[in-house]
């Protein structure tokens, strides 16, 4: 009966897929933003209607987040506010309410893994065609204009199902960005799938099927050639290593250590970690954004510079072209009080959802800090749900 196809299961898969798309797809999130976010709103209401559940604790959390953002708007009301962005956040919070109320965390993880596997398989096919075979244009390929925070325009080459590259980075990526705006972002979503894979443990699947899934996830991670992505994977290795359990968990530890050595070897051979040692490339940019962003956060440490305000003037003063650190950007916007409150809530929820011991709690917290510090993703539905009180079901259920 549990494997029976139901309206909730079908709609749940569609909603999880659209949460991923609206959180990271360059084609949908940027160039079709209005219909994408409206469709997300429609799906979340439809899912809420099918489940007919409204968890009071989830509602309280969502309202609390909304109230904090409202206070920030009121404090900065005399400054120019992006009301369109406010509307997007309202829809995102509503989506969190319906998803977390109607779906347990185990079901969400399984659906997330399967949706990402589909995205990854498509991306690997496109990666081989574009990068290895040097193929001609992909079906539905077009050029999009992108306006950066610094006021400069850039051209992105993409399709609805694969981002090929950026003019500013020399044209086609030699790395796998999938549907996302850049390979590092793709790596984050892949690593979340890997984390979910090991946490859920796939007790109901055959070992062969489970190994195939893990192999696909790791191969895709390697094709991103993302420095932060490899660091995130090493943290996942540490997380699994400190897990408790019997023979099955020992088997997981062996697999993940072996995969970790493979990733480390390829990263070293490809010079990926040189960016850390010599602070060059994207890692150098992120290091400068971190330092300059921390300096900027001191300008108004109590209430921040405004969450929905244009902070381009302040960034220019600090020499920041495009703020790449999502966590520091959030603290700059809301101040250190709300920033530290967010970190406390995040640690508490991650510990409840993922940790079997204090070591795992610390590692998983550091992992998500790296996620947030690598890309400006904190405000997306996928990550907002972590603050909304997922119903935890046993991984062995």
Average pLDDT value for residue range 327-339: 92
How far is the C-alpha of 285 from the C-alpha of 292, rounded, in Å? 11
* Lowest mean pLDDT across 63-67, 124-128, 347-351, 389-393: 389-393
Instruction: Give me the residue label for tokens 């976010």.
Output: 37
Q: What is the pLDDT of residues 197-206, one digit of tens each?
A: 988 764 455 5
How far is the C-alpha of 356 from the C-alpha of 73, rounded, in Å? 39
- Average pLDDT over the chain, rounded to whole? 83
Per-residue pLDDT, 43: 94
pLDDT at 284 over 70: no
How far is the C-alpha of 99 from the C-alpha of 388, rounded, in Å? 10
Give the full edge-to-edge strand order of the sheet including 171-172.
142-147, 153-158, 163-166, 171-172
pLDDT at 162 over 50: yes
Give me 161's structure tokens.
């199902």
pLDDT at 332 over 80: yes
More confident residue, 297 or 268: 297
Q: Partners of 147 in the beta sheet?
A: 153
Which residue intervals of 25-82 are DSSP H helices?
Answer: 31, 33-51, 56-75
Per-residue pLDDT, 156: 85
| CA dist list (Å): 304 to 215, 298, 328 | 44, 9, 11
- pTM listed for this prediction: 0.88
Per-residue pLDDT, 205: 53
Decide if 165 contacts 172 (C-beta within 8 A). Answer: yes
Q: Phi and psi for 99 in degrees, rounded to 5?
A: -70, -50
Per-residue pLDDT, 249: 54
Q: What is the pLDDT of residues 358-385, one digit of tens each?
A: 989 999 999 999 999 888 888 899 999 9
Q: What is the pLDDT of residues 227-263, one digit of tens each?
A: 889 889 989 988 888 876 544 555 555 666 666 666 6
Angle at 122 between CA 112 and CA 89, to 5 degrees: 45
Per-residue pLDDT, 46: 94
Residue by residue, DSSP assigns 47-58 as HHHHHT---HHH
How far is the C-alpha of 307 from the C-alpha of 69, rounded, in Å? 8
pLDDT at 1 over 50: no
pLDDT at 22 over 90: yes
The percentage of residues in the chain with a pLDDT greater than 70, rounded to a whole number, is: 83
* Lowest mean pLDDT across 153-162, 240-249, 271-280, 327-336: 271-280
More confident residue, 317 or 181: 181
Per-residue pLDDT, 202: 46
């Amino acid at each position: 009966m549990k494997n029976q196809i139901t309206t909730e299961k079908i709609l749940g898969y569609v909603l999880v897929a659209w949460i991923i798309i609206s959180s990271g797809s360059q084609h949908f999130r940027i160039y079709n933003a209005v219909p994408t976010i409206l469709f997300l709103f429609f799906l979340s209401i439809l899912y809420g209607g099918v489940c007919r559940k409204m968890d009071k604790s989830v509602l309280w959390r969502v309202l609390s987040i909304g109230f904090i953002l409202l206070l920030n708007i009121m404090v900065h009301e005399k400054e120019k506010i992006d009301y369109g962005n406010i509307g997007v956040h309202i829809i995102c919070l509503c989506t969190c309410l319906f998803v977390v109320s109607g779906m347990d965390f185990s079901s969400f993880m399984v659906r997330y893994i399967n949706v990402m596997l589909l995205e990854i398989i498509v991306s690997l096919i496109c990666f081989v065609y574009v990068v290895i075979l040097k193929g001609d244009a992909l079906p539905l390929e077009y050029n999009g204009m992108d306006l950066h925070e610094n006021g400069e325009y850039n051209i992105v080459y993409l399709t609805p199902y694969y981002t090929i590259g950026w003019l500013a980075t020399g044209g086609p990526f030699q790395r796998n960005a999938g549907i996302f705006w850049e390979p590092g972002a793709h790596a984050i979503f892949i690593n979340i799938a890997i984390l979910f894979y090991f946490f859920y443990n796939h007790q109901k699947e055959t070992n062969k099927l489970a190994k195939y899934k893990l192999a696909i996830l790791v191969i895709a991670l390697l094709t991103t050639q993302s420095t932060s992505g490899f660091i995130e994977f090493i943290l996942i290795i540490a997380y699994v290593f400190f897990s408790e359990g019997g023979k099955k968990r020992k088997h997981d530890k062996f697999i993940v250590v072996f995969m970790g050595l493979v990733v480390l070897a390829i990263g070293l051979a490809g010079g990926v970690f040189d960016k850390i040692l010599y602070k060059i490339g994207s890692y150098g940019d992120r290091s400068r954004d971190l330092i300059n962003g921390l300096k900027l956060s001191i300008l108004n440490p109590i209430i921040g510079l405004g969450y929905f305000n244009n902070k381009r003037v302040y960034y220019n003063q600090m020499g920041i072209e495009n703020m790449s650190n999502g966590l520091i950007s959030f603290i700059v916007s809301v101040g250190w009080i709300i920033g530290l409150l967010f970190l406390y809530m995040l640690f508490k929820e991650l510990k409840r959802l993922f940790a079997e011991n204090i070591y795992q709690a610390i590692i998983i917290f550091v992992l998500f800090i790296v996620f947030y510090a690598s890309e400006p993703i904190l405000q997306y539905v996928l990550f907002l749900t972590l603050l909304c009180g997922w119903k935890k079901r046993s991984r062995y259920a």
